């Protein structure tokens, strides 16, 4: 397999059209079909699949900041929608932004306020990830490394990854000790083209999952990175309380 160049900040991949940046966004290659993740949401731009996000309250979605820009320009709210309530995006319901989004000053994360959602929400981590910890990443999107427009998945997929040290040479330039992201290595499946902004959670019985990170980049072969929730927890809580 040809090694792909990791792109830490990318704009959204749009189906049935063109890729609006020089490199594609992020999704699951390999892995398996998800059977439970009611808080996962699919982000669309102009009605076309773009990124992934997580419902953290009934009115707030957490995703990656870079999903909301095209060629360094912000995407207007009227072009954005989310499919929620089903692992098959064709069966979900649509919710839209209601005029407020706030980006983190320290990580690739964006909070978006939407119309009320009738979906379960995920719990936020209050402790750091641990080296060697197995985590699960979720996303809709490309399932191949060739034409990502031709292999987008309409159903949610997942990969299992293992947390490695932030100064692992494979993540050089993307994670570092004390930085906002943590580095993960492939166990089964790897994110690659359509699920930037998607949830990275703990692994446990249904309903006990904790949101550990927001996926924001991978090499499409062996390693991936995610912004760590606990480092942004005070910011998240402050925004959603307003």
Q: Which of 117, 23, 111, 107 is nearest to 71 (CA)?
A: 23
CATH hierarchy code of domain 28-33+124-230 = 2.40.10.10
Q: Which of the 8 DSSP states describes residue 28?
A: E
Identify whether the C-beta of residue 83 lies closer than 8 Å to the C-beta of residue 89.
yes
Q: Report pLDDT digits (tens) over 154-194.
A: 899 999 999 999 999 999 989 999 999 999 999 999 887 78
Which CATH class, in words, describes the domain spanning 40-121+233-241? mainly beta
Identify whether the C-beta of residue 31 lies closer than 8 Å to the C-beta of residue 200.
no
Given a cut of 80, is residue 148 above it in pLDDT? no
Check for a shared fold between 28-33+124-230 and 40-121+233-241: yes
Annotated domain spans of the chain: 28-33+124-230, 40-121+233-241
| Residue with the larger pLDDT of the pair 174 and 201 | 201
Token digits of residue 3: 């090694």
Distances from the Cα of 150 to the Cα of 11, 97, 101, 154, 198, angstroms: 18, 28, 31, 12, 21
Q: Which of the 8 DSSP states describes residue 142?
A: B
Given a cut of 60, is residue 95 above it in pLDDT? yes
Helix (H, G, I), strand (E, B) or coil at 121: coil
The stretch 83-92 carries a mean pLDDT of 95
């Amino acid at each position: 397999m040809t090694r792909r160049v990791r792109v830490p900040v990318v704009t959204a991949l749009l189906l049935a059209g063109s890729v609006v940046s020089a490199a594609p966004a992020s999704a699951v290659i390999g892995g398996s079909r998800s059977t439970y993740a009611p808080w996962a949401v699919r982000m669309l731009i102009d009605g076309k699949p773009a990124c992934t996000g997580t419902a953290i309250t009934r009115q707030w979605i957490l995703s990656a900041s870079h999903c909301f820009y095209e060629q360094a320009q912000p995407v207007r709210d009227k072009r954005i929608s989310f499919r929620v309530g089903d692992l098959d995006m064709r069966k979900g319901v649509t919710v839209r932004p209601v005029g407020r989004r706030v980006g983190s000053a320290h990580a690739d994360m964006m909070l978006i306020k939407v119309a009320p959602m009738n979906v379960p929400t995920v719990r936020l981590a209050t402790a750091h990830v641990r080296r060697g910890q197995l985590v699960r990443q979720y996303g809709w999107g490309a399932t191949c490394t060739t034409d990502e427009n031709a292999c987008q998945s309409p159903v949610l997929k997942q990969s299992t990854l293992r947390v490695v040290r932030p100064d692992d040479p494979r993540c050089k330039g993307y994670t570092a000790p004390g930085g906002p992201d943590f580095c993960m290595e492939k166990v089964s499946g790897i994110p690659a083209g359509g699920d930037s902004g998607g949830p990275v959670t703990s692994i446990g019985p249904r309903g006990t999952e904790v949101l550990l990170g927001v996926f924001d980049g991978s090499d499409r072969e062996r390693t991936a990175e995610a912004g760590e929730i606990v480092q942004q927890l005070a910011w998240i809580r402050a925004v959603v309380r307003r």
